[in-house]
Amino acid sequence: MTTAQLVETSSKESVFGTQASQTMTSTVSHGVFGPSPPPPAVWPPLDFALGSIACCAACVFTNPLEVVKTRLQLQGELCARGSYQRHYRGVLQALWVVGRTDGLRGLQKGLSVGLIYQGLMNGVRLGSYSYCESLGITSFHGGSLLAGAVVGALGAFIASPAYLVKTHLQAQTVAAIAVGHQHNHLGVSDAFVTIYRREGLIGLWRGVNGAVPRVMVGSAAQLATFTSAKNWLSHFQWFSPNSWLTALVSAMISGVAVAITMTPFDVISTRLYNQPVDEFRRGRLYHGFADCMLKVCHSEGMLGLYKGMGPVFLRLAPHTVLSMLFWDLMRQQAVKDNHSQGRS
């Protein structure tokens, strides 16, 4: 072999070695456990709207389970097990009792204000998380958890008045099956006006100290597991690129994680929102998040924090699946439309 041929061969090996090294580095850096590249950005106002629409669509299907969950979490409030009458004994029985007593409309109590809550909270939460993705914040280890918690807290704070009214309306019913304090509002607008006149503007945010940790935990678990599951499924290429099945399976995994981590915070949040207030605008039953947790554990045991676990899972799992699936598919379509407009 001539000297020229040796030089040519070594240069080719160097080029191919460099390419292989770059390929391996890319594979390792964007693998299952490493940071993933940020997805194509969607116009922020559009992303906020898509997040709102996705979660409102899911809310229509899951609101009856939200009604049942609220009743089960308030049943036997601060009472020892076996010392109170149980109107609701499970998800299916509770759905039947509510439907028989309050009618089909009773199963959709609080739907209108629930849609307001979902639109505000999840529009802010999902839109802000998407913006964090485009900035590359979620590409760092732990970035998904941190971003999910922060945007969840922001969304929960902004939408807290709507959740307050929703809880009041879903809890109130006829005396025969009533649980918890009954506020007896005439409707959504009457509830907002009554709370404002009785407690002032700050009263509309009563219970927010329970809502913020609730949504922080749920949001961090939901968004982090959804993103990680999507990256994992995409890495192994079980489905075709951008397949709706990838989003569906990822959302199912996310729904399980949310239900397990969120239930105790959900019970505390419901109790803080629904408690009556005294003449000094202070809660009659609980002074705050920690006080509520201690009192529930002391009176009802640790299992008291998992009251309504069945409907919480049956509601959060499909709600997470539907909302995350709708959101992901609409964002993909928005990106495709942007690309097609750019080429044209």
**pLDDT tops 70 at residue 30:** no
Rounded to 5 degrees, φ, ψ at 149 are -70, -45
pLDDT at 96: 96
Q: What is the mean pLDDT of residues 264-274?
A: 95
How does residue 163 score in pLDDT terms, banded at 50, 70 and 90? Answer: very high
Average pLDDT, the chain: 83
User: Which of 61, 43, 98, 1 is closest to 342 using CA atoms?
Assistant: 43
Q: What is the mean pLDDT of residues 13-25?
A: 40
How does residue 344 score in pLDDT terms, banded at 50, 70 and 90? Answer: low
Q: What is the mean pLDDT of residues 33-62?
A: 72
How many residues make up the chain in this entry? 344
Rounded to 5 degrees, φ, ψ at 45 are -60, -40
Would 23 be classed as within a structural domain? no
Query: Domain holding 268: CATH number?
Result: 1.50.40.10
Would 224 be classed as within a structural domain? yes
Work out how many domains the chain is built from and give that number. Answer: 1
pLDDT at 285: 95
The model carries a pTM of: 0.79
Would 286 be classed as within a structural domain? yes
Would 13 be classed as within a structural domain? no
pLDDT in tens, 211-230: 999 999 988 988 888 888 88
pLDDT at 41: 58
Q: What is the mean pLDDT of residues 191-208?
A: 95
For residue 114, the enclosing domain spans 44-335
- Residue 312 makes CB contacts below 8 A (sequence gap 6+) with 69, 259, 262, 263, 266
pLDDT at 158: 96
Would 17 be classed as within a structural domain? no
Quote helix, strand, coil % in the chain, to nearest 5: 75, 0, 25
**pLDDT tops 70 at residue 142:** yes
Would 1 be classed as within a structural domain? no
Percent of the chain with pLDDT over 70: 86
Would 215 be classed as within a structural domain? yes
pLDDT in tens, 315-337: 776 777 777 777 777 878 887 87
- The tokens of 50 are what? 């898509």
**Hey, how many other C-beta atoms are within 10 angstroms of the C-beta on 203?**
17
CA separation for the pair 152, 75 (Å, rounded)? 28
Percent of the chain with pLDDT over 90: 47
Would 7 be classed as within a structural domain? no
pLDDT at 39: 53
